[in-house]
Amino acid sequence: MYFNYYMFTFFSFSQIQIYSPLDAIKIGIENSKELKLLKEKAMKEEKISKYSLKDFFPEISLSFSQAESVKVNSNDNKNKALQIGLSQMIYKGGKTNIAYQLQRLNSELE
């Protein structure tokens, strides 16, 4: 059986040929906005789940400061400081692990 389907796109017509009901289902799935939104939402949840892994790793901080003071009839002061910090969460009563597991489960359900 042979079906013709015309799709209007920006003032032009394009013809999609459908040879079987399976082709119609395939085209419907490919063009479904709801399915595209669900896929995007699932991808977003997966990225959020991966992002929450950062809570298990150390945090590195870097800061630089510079100060100058000029006094009349006295020595001038120039200070420069570079600070590097490293902090690692050791234990938060299981909050971090539970938050990560909940986020993973939430991404699997979506």
Tokens of 103: 């986020």
- Total-model pTM: 0.43
Enumerate helices (H) and strands (E) in the chain, giving the number of each. 3, 4
3-state DSSP call for residue 55?
A: helix
Instruction: Indicate whether 110 pLDDT > 70.
Output: no
The answer to whether the beta carbons of residues 13 and 7 sit under 8 Å apart is yes
Cα–Cα distance, 55 to 58 (Å, whole number): 8
Estimate to the nearest angstrom the gap between the alpha carbon of 96 and the chain centroid.
19
Which pLDDT does position 63 carry in this prediction?
Answer: 95
The answer to whether the beta carbons of residues 24 and 3 sit under 8 Å apart is yes
How confident is the model over 31-76, as pLDDT tens digits? Answer: 788 888 888 888 888 888 788 888 888 999 999 999 998 888 888 8
Instruction: Indicate whether 11 pLDDT > 60.
Output: no
Alpha helices in 1-110 (DSSP H): 21-30, 33-51, 95-109
Instruction: Indicate whether 94 pLDDT > 70.
Output: yes
> pLDDT higher for 77 or 92?
77
Instruction: Indicate whether 1 pLDDT > 50.
Output: no
